Structure 1
């Protein structure tokens, strides 16, 4: 019996740490019927998934919710609807990586509108802060991103930044992006950024030419929101991103 308790200590400690961080002792692995119905009515990516993939998506969303602490800023509380949709945006991006839960980022901070960032003394719609282990979002602009498939999606944009950072941070989810494919992506990104700056490329918005990180985030927005047009305009870049993220949104469009 003593030996069994000794063996269980690491697992108990992990649960206690999770409770201190999230207020939830045991992670929830399943969504309620209410949550599933809400996703089905409000999250297009989930709507298009086949039944077996829907079940996997639900479990991933439940795990994301239970492993993060959602913190309201300049608002009274974070509703369960907010938690479900924000978690779904993270799972949408990471769906090709079964073991990636953006585990470095423990806190999701939510503001009603834009917020002031001390880092660069500007108002932001969203940001990712690896030092604070936090992803920060404006709820207004998060919702707007999913209302219109125009290649501008705050949730996907910030989750894309978090994904790139997660891949570099030395933890249990380190280095999950295929290095060879990542190098190919960087080469294509560099070429496209030059075209954007030169004014010969107009599919991606100009902000994507700021640096490699911003181009990746802007490309991810279009990858999920305008996959058919992305594939038609930039087939090699699109296929490279499919390989990098291990999924192909065009296939969902054709189902």
Structure 2
């Protein structure tokens, strides 16, 4: 029985590999121009890191299923590239992490109503169905001011990253160092309390809800305003550098 299961798994992996080779998306010059113009993280990378970024982005776009919702007729390549780039950005320190559990990305044109929570949402992550859900208008808003520490794409991908680390079936788990994660959680308790009582205005109020929200808000600031983050929260910043295995400051070209 075990041999049969292993054999079927090998066949499945072979078909997945063949599918990827046949339908692997290759970035066009216009795609690269889009990234250079509209995705600040990519445009400020050193040339060698830009090449690595593009290669991983091609794999992300090829692997994910982008699904229009809420009256949206289709998902454009621009949408796929920008959302895929957000996944690459957050996972850039982990070459073999593609958030494989989250195979579907649902995109609404604007905020959407959830029949489960009975509330309007900007975005969410659903591990049960392997989905990341985004409002496109809110996603785009995150790039209007790329230094305000508010970016929906980074926020939702951060949630997915934390969940992916805990999912064991797809060989993408336990990539976040447990000791560094524990240290991060210790610091987050103090930061959340400072947000609640109003003694620190660096992180927005959403970060005080729980450890998941603080992690997502912290990553928004880590990527959007790393210099200020490092200046004001040096120890916490270095913990994230170690945890995510990347430093947005040193990755930038001169």
Alignment TM-score, normalising by the size of structure 1: 0.90
Question: What count of residue pairs does the alignment treat as equivalent?
Answer: 246
- Closer/same/farther in 2, CA of residues 176 and 34 from structure 1, 3 Å limit: same
CA offset at residue 201 of structure 1? 1.3
1:60 maps to 2:65: no
Root-mean-square deviation (CA, aligned residues, Å) is 2.1
Deviations 1:146-173 (Å, cap 9, x if unpaired)? 1212111000000000000000011310
What are the Cα deviations for residues 115-146 of structure 1, in whole angstroms up to 9, with x where unaligned? 11123110000000000100000000101101
Unmatched tracts of structure 2, length 5 or more: 1-5
Residues 15 and 25, structure 1, Cα contact 8 Å, conserved in 2: no
Contact residue 113 and residue 139 of structure 1 kept, 8 A: yes
User: 1:29–1:59: 8 Å Cα contact kept in structure 2?
Assistant: no
Q: What is the TM-score of this pair, normalised by structure 2?
A: 0.91
In 1, distance between residues paired with 2:77 and 2:96? 24
Following superposition, the deviation at residue 26 of structure 1 comes to 2.9
SS at match of 1:128: strand
SS in 1 for 2:143: helix
Q: How much has 1:18 moved relative to structure 2? A: 8.1
Q: 2: CA distance between counterparts of 1:217 and 1:38?
A: 26
Aligned mates of 1:81, 1:65 — CA distance in 2: 11
Q: Which residue of 2 is the match for residue 184 of structure 1? A: 183
Q: Deviations over 1:22-69 (max 9, x none)?
A: x97735264222211221121111111111111110111111111111
Tell me which residue corresponds to 1:79.
76
List 4+ stretches of structure 1 deviating above 6 A: none
Mapped pair 1:26 → 2:26: no
Greater shift in the superposed pair: 224-233 or 244-253: 244-253
Matches within 5 A, 1:26-175: 26-28=22-24, 30-73=26-69, 74-149=71-146, 150-171=148-169, 172-175=171-174
Unaligned 5+ runs, structure 1: 1-6
Paired with 2:139 and 2:220, the residues of 1 have a C-alpha distance of 12
Residue 12 of structure 1: how far off its partner (Å):
5.5
For 2:38 and 2:217, locate their aligned partners in 1 and report how far apart those are by CA, in whole Å. 23
Say if 1:127 and 1:135, in contact at 8 Å, map to a contact too: yes
Residue of structure 1 in register with 2:231 after alignment: 232
Tell me: higher relative CO, structure 1 or 2? Use CA pairs within 8 A at least 6 residues apart. Answer: 2
Other-structure match for 1:4: none
CA distance in 2, matches of 1:70, 1:249: 27
Contact 1:64 1:87 in 2 (8 A): yes
Distance verdict in 2 for CA 1:9–1:168, change over 3 Å? closer
Indicate conservation of the 8 Å contact 1:186/1:212, yes or no: yes
1:50, 1:124 → 2: CA distance? Answer: 36
CA distance in 1, matches of 2:152, 2:77: 19
